[in-house]
Structure 1
Amino acid sequence: HEATGAQHLHIDRDDSNNVFAVGFHTPVRDSTGVPHILEHTTLCGSEKYPVRDPFFKMLNRSLATFMNAFTASDYTIYPFATTNPVDYANLRDVYMDAVFHPKLDRLDFKQEGWRLEHQIPTDPSTPIQFKGVVYNEMKGQTSDSNYLFYCRAEQAMLPGTNYEHLSGGDPKYITDLTHEQLIDFHRKHYHPSNSRFYTYGNFPLEEHLRAIGEKLKGFEKTKVPTVNKNVSPWTAPRYVETTCALDPMSPADRQTKLSVSFLANQISDPFETFSMRVLSYLLLDGHASPMYKALIDSNLGSEFSANTGYDTSTSTSYLSIGLQGVKNEDIDKINNTIKSVLQQVKEQGFDPKRIEAAIHQMELGQKHKTADFGLGIMHGITSGWFNGVQPIELLQVNKNLDRLKSEIEKGRYFEKLIEKYLIDNPHTLYFVMRPDEHYFAQSAQEEEQRLKEKVDRLTEQDKIEIEKDGKELLKSQEQTEDLTCLPTLHLSDISTKTKHTVLEHTGICNAPVQWRTTSTNGITYFRAISSLPLFSDDLKMYLPLFCDSLLSLGTKDQTMAEIDDEIRLYTGGLKASTSISTNHSDLDHLEEGIVLAGHCLDRNIDKMYSILSKLIHGTNFDNVEKLKILINSNASSMVNSIADAGHIFARTFASSSLTPGMHNTELMSGLTQVRFMNQLAQKEDLSEVVEKLKQIASIVLSQSSLRIAITCGEDAVEPNTKSLVRFIEGLPTDTKKPDPSSAVNIFKPNYPKTFFPLPFQVNFAAQVMKGVPYTHQDGASLQVLSSLLTTHYLHKEIREKNGAYGGGARYGGLNGIFSFYSYRDPRTLETLDTFKKSIEWIKHREFTDQELTESKLSIFQGIDAPLSVSEEGMLEFVHGVSDEMRQW
């Protein structure tokens, strides 16, 4: 943009899921979280749209397939995606007005950032507390030991730069930020001269240029603020230790985490960055990687640490190799093993097949297109773009791949990179995080002390202002607003017909096969479901482990490392998982199954089915060493997943008492499964586990239980058919029935109240009710109801007033569960009370036609969202829900 220097990248592609994003370079000088809080407050109203939280309100006035905003170490970006041109223009205008002309109201800063407020705002006799959405969000985020490990390691790795601060904010320092500093940060950083615009899809470039140019009128070029990003190289390695909370769900003696990090190249060199990414893959990815063999297979740790891999989110990249689930006495051994493996690879190089597999994965990745392809490109270029790299250079994968092949042919290319960055490198960080049972008590004590110091400094006038602000904020939150200034779609803007997916149904060797023949870029997508007979709850608990074992234990003839090399050389990945599908007409009936899935280039169709057959028939369940490693890894990763998905775990556990489908979902993927896997991890003798897995293997995956779905191009139908015949004929015609002595549990609904203690400073809550089957006429009404409750009551009460990061109501059309939930919630008991009050509230609330329309629009977002080609027809295949049923 000539007048301001704003940059704009447009990618013209025949894709209806169009993307818009505007972002700003926002490196920080402290850990007050100013860009993160600014990200929240810019979306709290603007000059043209002066309503509270237009961003949230637009969720129900739009068909957006994606709407969000992100704060990273170097930038803040605001993206959305939609297939509707009117919707696109509406959202683009709201987004641009929000970032360039926000209100940045003082009370919005207090609500979204932090504030001192009485526990009950209307009662000055109640104690003063810290409150605020971002404050509580980051309390939850920094309670997650994996997130904390990643951040603290990066801070120690890059001292003296903006990266030694947390851009999202550290709760210790968030309470130092003032409203004036927020406004000043916006003035300096949210200027067109400091901006990047990204547009993608099939909408015309001319209209993008016109709309952006209109919004930038009146701005002139200005000097862009800078911070120091240059790392001062070390002359010797450094050793840093810190602590985190003890996790009550994991073994106490295996909660240490560690990593070794090596400073690497400037990301302004796209080819060196590309090469280092491939090197990281070769060192770390999969069972055949040298680091996996040396660190995981040796049982030195349960899985790689959160920061393991090649990190390009900073202007100078770095590569980390680390472990979690470590015993304290093994720390030196692990560090020495990492050194030893690097030296060995430097001397011996990588197996040529492994390099070939890495190149194959990149070539396949270029062909594999997803529904959110445009967003994927955006995420791939933003860090480099905000650090001075031309975005077009970041998209030239084939050019970099050709150059890489040339360098490999010259010999010892990766070995030289290892020597340069990973062996002869004094800028190396040895980082250790140990659990401390007093961690949260100390954190709470520190917070109390910070609060006391602030309260002690308050004058009488300050206290009057706090009471006044609390009441004023409460009043503004409860006000009914005039939203007519916000643009909206209308039901007339939406097609009354769902997109019809053409499917063909045939049979191969008596197995039903669903065909989706379409343009796939030369890729075949395979999915099969093997229906399960009635199992006891005891045996069901082992089903997820059985599925993982198929892709983790190897066979009697081949190690898993050898098979993993084949999978990567000939496919885009294979998966085995459990499936639970509630009957669309009856919540008390369901189908349970094992899902096999994979995709490959059409030239490798036969290879893919051959590998699948090998794993089904030959998995070596007696490989106790690998089984132990798998159980430890699963136990660790399941516990780690709770921090980001606690509300889902809460909903699932609560729902398990209502329907057979949710009962089984809880057994196989909920907190019950997490505890079960941790119990298995404590076992020394796994002979009983081996017998259970063998028992399952004798019961499942037969010709008579199988149904298959194939998505491929016209030319690939015949080779798929031939290969499928061999694949199916290789399966047993039938399998054993479960042992009659193994009692099948009869499901009985019950209504418990449960609390799970977890190592977090904030909580997750859920309350659930049984709804109706998918085909019931009340299903649509319950979906609308959940939207109305969230938009008009729960969001305001749980997030705006109580400071939780998120909360609301949702209705699962397929599982028939109506649920209330909260996410990273500091006031859980009040939230449970809010759930109850919401029911009384809605019974007496009259809704306008506009409010009902908005709730319907929010539901159509999911119904009309574009699908990846691999997902087309899968709703019918997995759940039996046809396009006609969706239309009804």
Structure 2
Amino acid sequence: MTVHDTVHGFIVEREVPLPELDAVMYQMKHEKTGLELVWISREEENKVFGIGFETLPWNDTGVFHILEHSVLCGSKNYPVKEPFVELLKNSMNTFLNAMTFPDKTFYPVASRNDKDFVNLMRVYLDAVFYPAVYTKPEIFYQEGWHYEFDSEGKPGYKGVVFNEMKGAFADADELMDMTINRALFPDTPYRYVSGGDPTKIPDLTYEEFIESHKRFYSPSNAYVYLDGAMDIDAILGIINDEYLSSFEQTKRMDPPALQSAVDAGEQQIEYEIGADENEDGKIRLSWGRVIGTYAEREKLTAMQILSDVLTGNNQAPLTKAVLEDGLAETMRLYTIDGVANPWVKIEARNVKKENCKQVEKRIFDTLNALANGGLDHEKLEASMANLEFQMRERDYGSYPQGLILGMQVFDSWLYGGAPEANLQIGDLFVNLREKMKQGYFEHLIREELLENPHRCKVALIPSKTAGEARRAKEAKRIEDESAMWSDNAREEIIAKQERLEAWQNSEDTPEQLAALPHLELSDLSRTPQEQPIEELVIDGQKVLVHRVNSSGIAYITLYFDENHYTEAELPALGLLCRLFGNLETTQSSVEELNNRVRLLCGSMTFFISTFNIKDDSSCCTVKLCASFSTLESNVDQAVSLAAEILTQTRFDTANSEKAVLDLLRQIKMGCFEQIVMGGHAAALGRVSAQMSVSSVVSECTGGVTFYQWLKAQEENWNWNSLREKLTVLYEKAVSKEQLTISLTGNTDAYAANVVQMLQELLPSKPDLLKAHTIAIKPWGIKKEGIIIPADIAFAVRGTITGNYNGAWQTAAKIVSLSYLWNVIRVQGGAYGTGMLTRANGGFFCYSYRDPSARESLRKYLDCSSFLKEFAAQNPDLTGFIIGTVSDQSPLQTPRMKGQAADNFYWRQISWAERCTRWQQILETTPEKLAQAAEQISTAMKDGGICVVGGAEQMEGCGLDEIITL
């Protein structure tokens, strides 16, 4: 393929080498429709397809968010109700989702299997171009919003996106960013909430919804992205012959207009806090600044570096300035890009009303001093090195690398820039280092943060009544609307609800399901992914070695046995881990430690991990982990740094008390936000701890219990007592006798040296032997509620029941996607739901951003009877088995391969046992599903309950205990 070639109607316009990716990018345009296409051709097994549309909102109804959901609910060639769900059931995808952004909507899929990749691409192309929304208005009512009458005949609003955004608006950060966008971009689409404001979503009509699809979802407004090794001729043939050939060219939407500079002054908005919370000291202040355009990559990268230098830790100058006198609890500086007009947010959190003016003065006086030559260039260099490491590493966790590359392509391509603009690093950091010497970063502080005319200030004010007022306003609106309904109008609304329920309860026909492309069991591997691991003993030291190609990066984890701690000590142990690296050592100040971490490592973290031994919930091993990544050439220095932090941290300096108190408040704040926004995970942790020792440890070192302990420490602050606890724990946390080393990468180059260094640097404490048996016990079954300031809930029910069988994974998949999806998400309006089964023998049901926890808990009880009835029909399980195998075969980076291998090692799960469980999945039968149904029945009837949600959500849930977060 060369420039000017025409392939299936696509003209090759550009061919761009991408040496850093060992790739070539081809940019093409479809001659008939004008559709734009980019393909990154490289030897990458995991292939990515994505189609995106420029979608610029003109109001807050969330129309494009609702469209994102809705087009995946059936299409012309795949006329099933939920093609998206069917693909989750029976695809080998490594990514399958859709995303709404402020100015675009993106539909990406990925798979390592060639046949599966083509199947996924076809379904998504059909979904966006030929959705069933034109003939099935019920899709709009389900995914967007509709009126629904309760058992007493009282109307209310319901809808998946409606409830999702009610949950999102419980997040103070969401409210802050929404307000800043409104202020900074009064004349562009960025002033609107692309996801939808819950107070405005009910303004959207079905007719406007349909018209929006007609206008924006044309091939002429589309961008197709491809990545990986594929038969490009066949792929282009499918796109052209099966889809684009049927369309004519229309007008492509213009890129979003750039906002002219505005000084929006100060805005105020209330956010909800709990009824038992103290309003004092909970104000959040933010200053927004628009910093240029998408094309200024060097500036955007420099602002990321500045964000880290100014607020990356408590010793950073901007954070330190407001912490010194207790003016705020933390400072943050963010860069928000991926839009035509990137912007930054300076934020001070938890400020007292009487300190607001002083905080602002302190922040901008500090910035002024830094702009006048006060920046520490060593810190700049360290932050630059860290960011460059991460950008070159391209480790995006479970997200396919090709997907993130696609997002980077869109961040320029959508606005008329070169698609490859953000894909390579080139001389970016060379130039920034040279500009640093010339005062570039000081200039940026003055130009972008101090003297920038495009600005705003937002104050987020805590309110105990904001939630009540919001709910009253919604109730009043419904009351006013319903009062105007004629009898005929009311009957028609009831009829709409009945039609929606009938459609939701209908089943796809075998013929409709057969239209979807499928894989066969013969397409699957007969064994699980191998996790490379060798257990070596080097100079008497146990070392777990994972030999994988990691492109010159070493991934090192130090595991220390901690089975000797009591449950009462665990929260303090969780805090201790978070203090590592944030307190000075006998050799280094905190600033010096932070600089060295950034210079030497991609990351360095300290945390508690716990593993069920043989997946027995009554027996586990607890590890304190020090995990870091570094270039092979820097291994010795990184190991020395980790050892220094682990063995020389001090709690007795003049600054220790204030440093720990500041960190404790910040950790507490982070835990609170995590629980409010991810309440399903918090609830799962609570219920699991009722019968699993491992989960008790996790809950006490990072869950709700940990948050409660932090809160109590702050409210009853006694530094002498806490310091004594931390010191005692510290003395028995780290020694050579407790250590196991894990190395991932080209380990032969440095393994022996790592062992020698640690043997020299770590203390010897023979009394802390590995033979300790953990004395912690599960909590026992209970039914509890945790009140958070939100309208929605997260509801969990389940327990550990018996001997695990791999077929249980298939059973959980079936229940999740064939039962819970329908009754909790589709009919109930929750944003998410599912059943989890764990190798320790547990079954758990959960809901996410749920409008009715009570109803969900009740419906969980029917999971068993559903599965029994399903199994009795002797169904074809091929698709479900394929989907389950896909779940068990995640995409893994080199780092993740080492982590996964360590996980099986500590759980003492052998390769033979993994193969047995894999085979059990492949050999799932209706009879085994029926057996799993009995276990599910026990888990749901006799298990524990935890509901995290608003106070009203606790009603009718049968809870024994209710606490306020």
TM range (shorter): over 0.9
Q: Give the Å deviation of 1:471.
A: 1.6
Deviates more, 1:325-334 or 1:694-703: 325-334
TM-score scaled by length of structure 2: 0.87
Q: Deviations over 1:365-392 (max 9, x none)?
A: 2442436211222233333332222221
Q: What amino acid maps onto 1:355 in structure 2?
A: L
2:583 corresponds to: 553
Deviates more, 1:199-208 or 1:592-601: 199-208
Structure 1 pair 299/3, CA: closer, same or farther in 2 (3 Å)?
A: farther
Q: Give the Å deviation of 1:287.
A: 4.4
2:708 maps to which of 675, 684, 692: 675
Deviates more, 1:835-844 or 1:170-179: 835-844
1:599-618 alignment runs, 5 A limit: 599-618=629-648
Q: Write the distance in 1 (CA, Å) between the matches of 2:692 and 2:766.
A: 28
1:651 corresponds to: 684
Q: Kindly indicate whether the alpha-carbon contact (under 8 Å) linking 1:275 and 1:404 is maintained by their aligned counterparts in 2.
A: yes
Q: Kindly indicate whether the alpha-carbon contact (under 8 Å) linking 1:248 and 1:758 is maintained by their aligned counterparts in 2.
A: no
Q: What amino acid maps onto 1:567 in structure 2?
A: V
Q: Give the Å deviation of 1:297.
A: 5.5
1:395-434 alignment runs, 5 A limit: 395-409=423-437, 411-434=438-461
SS at the partner of 1:572? Answer: strand
Q: Give the Å deviation of 1:866.
A: 2.5
1:220 corresponds to: 248
Q: Write the distance in 2 (CA, Å) between the matches of 1:498 and 1:748.
A: 32
Structure 1 pair 276/699, CA: closer, same or farther in 2 (3 Å)?
A: closer
Q: Kindly indicate whether the alpha-carbon contact (under 8 Å) linking 1:146 and 1:640 is maintained by their aligned counterparts in 2.
A: no
1:290 maps to which of 302, 317, 332: 317
Q: Write the distance in 2 (CA, Å) between the matches of 1:441 and 1:478.
A: 34
Q: Write the distance in 2 (CA, Å) between the matches of 1:514 and 1:752.
A: 39
Q: Kindly indicate whether the alpha-carbon contact (under 8 Å) linking 2:567 and 2:776 is maintained by their aligned counterparts in 1.
A: no
Q: What amino acid maps onto 1:804 in structure 2?
A: A
Q: Write the distance in 1 (CA, Å) between the matches of 2:52 and 2:515.
A: 25
Structure 2: which 5+ runs fail to align? 1-29, 917-965
1:865 corresponds to: 890
Q: What amino acid maps onto 1:840 in structure 2?
A: S
Identity %: 26
Q: Write the distance in 2 (CA, Å) between the matches of 1:854 and 1:288.
A: 54
Deviates more, 1:497-506 or 1:701-710: 497-506
1:682-761 alignment runs, 5 A limit: 682-713=715-746, 717-734=748-765, 747=777, 750-761=780-791
Structure 1: which 5+ runs fail to align? none
1:106-145 alignment runs, 5 A limit: 106-120=137-151, 126-145=153-172
1:274 corresponds to: 301
Deviates more, 1:629-638 or 1:875-884: 875-884
Give yes or no for the alignment of 1:15 onto 2:44.
Answer: yes
Q: Deviations over 1:670-718 (max 9, x none)?
A: 21111111212223322211111111111121111111110122xx524
Q: Deviations over 1:621-668 (max 9, x none)?
A: 231111111100000000011233111111111121112222222222
Q: Give the Å deviation of 1:61.
A: 1.3
2:527 maps to which of 497, 502, 507: 497
Q: What amino acid maps onto 1:730 in structure 2?
A: L
Give yes or no for the alignment of 1:507 onto 2:537.
Answer: yes
TM-score scaled by length of structure 1: 0.94
State the superposition RMSD in angstroms: 2.2
Q: Kindly indicate whether the alpha-carbon contact (under 8 Å) linking 1:261 and 1:429 is maintained by their aligned counterparts in 2.
A: yes
Structure 1 pair 445/585, CA: closer, same or farther in 2 (3 Å)?
A: closer
SS at the partner of 1:300? Answer: coil
Q: Write the distance in 2 (CA, Å) between the matches of 1:764 and 1:294.
A: 38
Q: Give the Å deviation of 1:270.
A: 3.1
2:351 corresponds to: 326
Q: Write the distance in 2 (CA, Å) between the matches of 1:591 and 1:611.
A: 26
1:41 corresponds to: 70
Q: What amino acid maps onto 1:799 in structure 2?
A: R
Q: Write the distance in 2 (CA, Å) between the matches of 1:671 and 1:279.
A: 34
Structure 1 pair 808/718, CA: closer, same or farther in 2 (3 Å)?
A: closer
Q: What amino acid maps onto 1:551 in structure 2?
A: G
SS at the partner of 2:246? Answer: coil
Q: What amino acid maps onto 1:115 in structure 2?
A: H
1:812 corresponds to: 838
Q: Give the Å deviation of 1:744.
A: 8.2
1:170 corresponds to: 197
Q: Deviations over 1:111-152 (max 9, x none)?
A: 1100012124xxxx5211111111111111111222212222
SS at the partner of 1:324? Answer: strand
Deviates more, 1:854-863 or 1:825-834: 854-863
2:186 maps to which of 138, 143, 159: 159
Q: Give the Å deviation of 1:108.
A: 0.7
Q: Give the Å deviation of 1:849.
A: 6.1
SS at the partner of 2:248? Answer: coil
1:232 maps to which of 242, 245, 260: 260
2:286 maps to which of 250, 255, 259: 259
Q: Deviations over 1:765-812 (max 9, x none)?
A: 00011044xxx5x42122122111112211100011111111121112
Q: Deviations over 1:811-870 (max 9, x none)?
A: 122x43210111111111111110112223323333666552222222211322221101
Q: Kindly indicate whether the alpha-carbon contact (under 8 Å) linking 2:184 and 2:264 is maintained by their aligned counterparts in 1.
A: no
Q: Write the distance in 1 (CA, Å) between the matches of 2:146 and 2:837.
A: 34
Deviates more, 1:695-704 or 1:245-254: 245-254
2:417 corresponds to: 389
1:339 maps to which of 364, 377, 383: 364
Give yes or no for the alignment of 1:189 onto 2:222.
Answer: no
Deviates more, 1:563-572 or 1:346-355: 346-355
SS at the partner of 1:759? Answer: coil
Q: Deviations over 1:10-67 (max 9, x none)?
A: 1122222221111100011100000000111101111111110111111011011111
Q: Write the distance in 2 (CA, Å) between the matches of 1:696 and 1:249.
A: 33
1:639 corresponds to: 672
2:94 corresponds to: 65
Q: What amino acid maps onto 2:92 in structure 1?
A: L
Structure 1 pair 20/744, CA: closer, same or farther in 2 (3 Å)?
A: closer
1:85-100 alignment runs, 5 A limit: 85-100=114-129
Q: Kindly indicate whether the alpha-carbon contact (under 8 Å) linking 1:188 and 1:225 is maintained by their aligned counterparts in 2.
A: no
Q: Deviations over 1:464-497 (max 9, x none)?
A: 1122121221121122212111111121111112
Q: Write the distance in 1 (CA, Å) between the matches of 2:154 and 2:250.
A: 46
Q: Give the Å deviation of 1:408.
A: 3.2
Structure 1 pair 758/53, CA: closer, same or farther in 2 (3 Å)?
A: same
Q: Write the distance in 2 (CA, Å) between the matches of 1:199 and 1:167.
A: 26
SS at the partner of 1:630? Answer: helix
SS at the partner of 1:821? Answer: strand
Give yes or no for the alignment of 1:792 onto 2:818.
Answer: yes
Q: Kindly indicate whether the alpha-carbon contact (under 8 Å) linking 1:786 and 1:810 is maintained by their aligned counterparts in 2.
A: yes
Q: Kindly indicate whether the alpha-carbon contact (under 8 Å) linking 1:70 and 1:77 is maintained by their aligned counterparts in 2.
A: yes
Q: Give the Å deviation of 1:174.
A: 0.4
Q: Write the distance in 2 (CA, Å) between the matches of 1:750 and 1:850.
A: 37
SS at the partner of 2:526? Answer: coil
2:867 corresponds to: 842
Q: Kindly indicate whether the alpha-carbon contact (under 8 Å) linking 1:114 and 1:132 is maintained by their aligned counterparts in 2.
A: yes
Q: Write the distance in 2 (CA, Å) between the matches of 1:798 and 1:499.
A: 33
Q: Give the Å deviation of 1:619.
A: 0.5
Q: Write the distance in 2 (CA, Å) between the matches of 1:254 and 1:858.
A: 49
Q: Write the distance in 2 (CA, Å) between the matches of 1:660 and 1:168.
A: 40
Q: Write the distance in 1 (CA, Å) between the matches of 2:716 and 2:517.
A: 60
1:884 corresponds to: 912
Q: Kindly indicate whether the alpha-carbon contact (under 8 Å) linking 2:318 and 2:331 is maintained by their aligned counterparts in 1.
A: no
1:546-585 alignment runs, 5 A limit: 546-585=576-615
Q: Kindly indicate whether the alpha-carbon contact (under 8 Å) linking 2:298 and 2:428 is maintained by their aligned counterparts in 1.
A: yes
**Corresponding pairs, count:** 870
Q: Write the distance in 1 (CA, Å) between the matches of 2:49 and 2:323.
A: 42
Q: Kindly indicate whether the alpha-carbon contact (under 8 Å) linking 1:118 and 1:126 is maintained by their aligned counterparts in 2.
A: yes
Q: What amino acid maps onto 2:36 in structure 1?
A: Q
Q: What amino acid maps onto 2:31 in structure 1?
A: E
Q: Kindly indicate whether the alpha-carbon contact (under 8 Å) linking 1:810 and 1:818 is maintained by their aligned counterparts in 2.
A: yes
Q: What amino acid maps onto 2:138 in structure 1?
A: L
Q: Write the distance in 2 (CA, Å) between the matches of 1:788 and 1:495.
A: 21
